[in-house]
């Protein structure tokens, strides 16, 4: 909150957040293909139910594949606390559909550790499977969109610099 007690409307704060995210992405150094590949890896990992490991997995996979580690870290932030409930619902529904399983009954009659673990696995398996599918399906669109945005941004910057007589 500002000193005068005025707080910007939610829509304005979201616009600012998306603008900053966009600027961070297009200003990353490296070839557009490296940046786009890193972003695609990060988004794919960010859509899986591996929350404590999103950042580590994204950066590790980007490193192993020779893509931008910073873009992967940035892309993994799609799995932030605000979006995670929606992502997990989507992952779980897709996982249930594709595995052909039904959601478990949450009525617990047996409070033994194996019974509780089985209940957790009955929920986590479709969530993990659906997250893998959603993540895999996000790779190509994320790669193509990021590559295009980076190329357009760099071209716009080059033209602006040429216009004022500076080398690009």
Domain segments of the chain as ranges: 27-155
Q: What is the pTM of this model?
A: 0.81
- Supply the pLDDT for residue 68: 95
Q: Are the C-beta atoms of residues 122 and 107 closer than 8 Å to each other?
A: no
Question: Taking 60 as the threshold, does the pLDDT of residue 158 lie above it?
Answer: yes
The string of pLDDT tens digits covering residues 73-129 is 999 998 888 888 999 999 999 999 999 888 776 666 666 777 666 777 888 889 999
Residues 6+ apart with CB under 8 A from 73: 42, 55, 58, 59
User: Is residue 29 very low, low, confident or very high in pLDDT (cuts 50, 70, 90)?
Assistant: confident
- Supply the pLDDT for residue 105: 67
């Amino acid at each position: 909150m500002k000193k005068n007690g005025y707080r910007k409307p939610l829509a304005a704060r979201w616009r600012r957040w998306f603008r900053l995210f966009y600027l961070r992405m297009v200003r990353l150094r490296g070839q557009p293909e490296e940046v786009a590949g890193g972003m695609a890896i990060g988004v794919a990992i960010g859509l899986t139910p591996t929350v404590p490991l999103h950042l580590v997995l994204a950066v590790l996979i980007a490193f192993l594949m020779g893509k931008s580690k910073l873009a992967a870290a940035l892309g993994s932030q799609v799995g932030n606390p605000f979006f995670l409930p929606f992502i997990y619902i989507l992952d779980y529904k897709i996982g249930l559909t594709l595995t052909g399983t039904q959601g478990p009954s949450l009525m617990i009659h047996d409070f033994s550790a194996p019974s509780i673990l089985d209940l957790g696995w009955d929920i986590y398996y479709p969530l993990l499977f659906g997250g893998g599918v959603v993540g895999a399906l996000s790779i190509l669109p994320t790669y193509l969109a990021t590559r295009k945005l980076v190329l357009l941004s760099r071209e716009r910057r080059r033209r602006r610099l040429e216009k004022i007589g500076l080398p690009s």
